[in-house]
């Protein structure tokens, strides 16, 4: 322990298991670039305030360029048992390159507590910006399909029972607009993450008049965090990002579940591309929708990381406590899971084969029973009464053992004398969807309007 960065007051050695239990280098190395950028910004600010000379700053900047290169080329030699985390590893290596006389000044007034908070915010901000482009791509594919396949009509379900005819594009946009709302949420979350804790010290602040605004600007932060005690201990930004990711994954999970059903032989509405399916080692005929099942399954994993971190942070005293190190791995895995999942979903959707003939075949005339009731409504009959009349037509068709649309005009007339010849026009699925013309409904114009709404949301409207 006395060789460690913080070893001044220690005499004994650490239990070897405690060394590995404590170290985070094997995962927080993900932040090497952010840690170096933060260190350079910190050194620059300490140069302006006179803690470092210009020459010392140049040496630090040059030394870090080499350290960064070593990480990039996978030649950084992690010293097991010494390089506890990314901050100590970078500083140890900098000292070897430029000498500890200069490297030893870098940490003046600084704490790893502010470093990790800074690194995580920078990393998460950049990852969420990548995720924003993945999500935008996914939504563009959704919008393009919805426009191109606007004429496909399929059954819409409630309780997984055939309910009313809808456009396939209406189904696409039912998720598309939820994902577009996720995009709006993502932009809001990212803005809150992009605030700087650098210059907070261990908990109480910085004694060397460091220019926090200048450092924040250099690192691309939008603004500062205020209150050093809160700032070093805050992991709400990680929680919020994971709550966001969990919401998105719950949408992807339901989207995937629908497509799993729709790709089964029983539905046969869509066919998954080979690139996103796998076979069975035993049954030669099988083509399994593994991509979709993994989207559904990984939503549980993403939720677990979010819930786990909330448990971790709920009872810790202020300010920094080592518990907070347990926020790193959940974040890394959650973010990778979410980013990969959106890209897989995009791949699935852009290669999916939609089958309008099967969709049409799955429509049944009883799904027009509401339209039959609406016919009499338009002739002034109260809906509660027309609902009942239409129900009697359903029962008659069942009794006769024919689909509703095969009942003769005379048979319909027998149920209610107010049916006229034009009642037979009811048995038309296209007509049914076109009647749903109010905004947000499943008529062609209403669905195409949804596409425009979605495109506007992509542009931040």
CB of 316 to ligand ARG, least distance (A): 12
Q: Which is nearer to ligand ARG, 313 or 372 (CB)?
A: 313
Specify whether 159 is catalytic. Answer: yes
Q: Which stretch binds ligand ARG (CB under 6 A): 58-66, 67-75, 111-119, 170-178?
A: 111-119
| Half-sphere exposure in the Cβ direction for 268 (13 Å, CA) | 8
Q: How far apart are CA 190 and CA 39, in angstroms?
A: 23
Using alpha carbons, list the distances in angstroms from residue 23 to 37, 70, 76, 87, 330.
22, 20, 17, 11, 16
Q: Which of residues 81-100 bind ligand ARG (CB under 6 A)?
A: 85
Q: Which stretch binds ligand ARG (CB under 6 A): 102-110, 215-223, 322-330, 340-348?
A: 322-330
Q: Which is nearer to ligand ARG, 83 or 240 (CB)?
A: 83
Instruction: Considering the candidates 280, 318, 388, 408, report the single residue annotated as catalytic.
Output: 280
CB of 112 to ligand ARG, least distance (A): 4
Q: Pick from 90, 113, 142, 228: which binds ligand ARG (CB under 6 A)? A: 113
Q: Which stretch binds ligand ARG (CB under 6 A): 65-73, 252-260, 321-329, 342-350?
A: 321-329
Check if the beta carbon of residue 266 is closer than 8 Å to that of residue 240: no
Specify whether 280 is catalytic. Answer: yes
Residues in contact with 160: Cβ distance below 8 Å, sequence separation at least 6, in sequence order? none
Q: Pick from 174, 250, 268, 325: which binds ligand ARG (CB under 6 A)? A: 325
Q: How far apart are CA 436 and CA 449, in angstroms?
A: 13
Beta-strand pair 153-158/161-167: antiparallel
Q: Does 292 sit near ligand ARG (CB under 6 A)?
A: no
Q: Does 324 sit near ligand ARG (CB under 6 A)?
A: yes
Q: How far apart are CA 247 and CA 239, in angstroms?
A: 12
CB atoms within 10 A of CB 38: 28
State the Cα torsion 231-236-240-241 to the nearest 10°.
Answer: 60
Q: Which is nearer to ligand ARG, 168 or 320 (CB)?
A: 320
Active-site positions read: 159, 280
Residues in contact with ligand ARG by CB under 6 A are: 24, 28, 85, 112-113, 116, 320, 324-325, 328
């Amino acid at each position: 322990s006395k060789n460690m960065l913080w070893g001044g007051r220690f005499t004994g050695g650490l239990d070897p298991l405690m060394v590995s239990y404590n170290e985070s280098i094997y995962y927080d190395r993900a932040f090497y670039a952010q840690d170096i950028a933060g260190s350079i910004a910190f050194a620059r600010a300490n140069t302006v305030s006179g803690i470092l000379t210009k020459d010392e700053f140049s040496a630090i900047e040059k030394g870090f360029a080499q350290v960064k290169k070593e990480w990039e080329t996978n030649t950084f030699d992690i010293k097991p048992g010494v390089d506890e985390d990314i901050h100590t590893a970078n500083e140890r290596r900098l000292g070897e390159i430029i000498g500890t006389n200069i490297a030893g000044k870098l940490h003046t007034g600084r704490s790893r507590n502010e470093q990790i908070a800074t690194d995580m915010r920078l990393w998460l901000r950049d990852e969420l910006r990548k995720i924003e482009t993945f999500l935008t791509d996914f939504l563009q594919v959704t919008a393009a399909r919805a426009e191109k396949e606007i004429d496909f009509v399929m059954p819409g379900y409630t309780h997984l029972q055939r309910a009313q005819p809808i456009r396939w594009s209406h189904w696409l946009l039912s998720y598309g607009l939820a994902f577009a709302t996720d995009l709006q949420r993502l932009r809001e979350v990212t803005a809150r993450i992009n605030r700087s804790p650098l210059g907070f010290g261990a908990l109480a602040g910085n004694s060397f008049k460091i220019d926090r605004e200048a450092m924040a600007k250099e690192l691309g932060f939008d603004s500062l965090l205020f209150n050093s005690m809160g700032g070093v201990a805050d992991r709400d930004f990680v929680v919020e990002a994971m709550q966001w990711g969990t919401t998105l994954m719950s949408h992807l999970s339901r989207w995937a579940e629908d497509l799993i059903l729709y790709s089964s032989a029983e539905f046969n509405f869509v066919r998954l591309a080979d690139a996103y399916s796998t076979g069975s080692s035993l049954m030669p005929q099988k083509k399994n929708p593994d991509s979709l099942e993994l989207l559904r399954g990984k939503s549980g994993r993403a939720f677990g990381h979010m819930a786990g971190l909330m448990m971790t942070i709920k009872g810790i005293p202020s300010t920094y406590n080592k518990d907070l190190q347990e926020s790193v791995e959940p974040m890394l895995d959650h973010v990778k899971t979410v980013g990969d999942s959106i890209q897989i979903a995009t791949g699935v959707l852009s290669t999916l084969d939609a089958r309008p003939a099967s969709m049409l075949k799955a429509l049944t005339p009883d799904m027009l029973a509401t339209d039959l009731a609406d016919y009499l409504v338009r002739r002034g009959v109260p809906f509660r009464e027309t609902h009942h009349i239409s129900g009697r037509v359903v029962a008659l068709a069942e009794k006769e053992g024919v689909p509703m649309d095969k009942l003769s005009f005379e048979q319909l007339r027998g149920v209610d004398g107010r049916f006229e010849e034009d009642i037979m026009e009811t048995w038309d699925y296209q007509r049914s969807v076109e009647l749903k013309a109010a905004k947000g409904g499943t008529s062609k114009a209403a669905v195409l309007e949804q596409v425009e709404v979605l495109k506007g949301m992509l542009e931040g409207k």
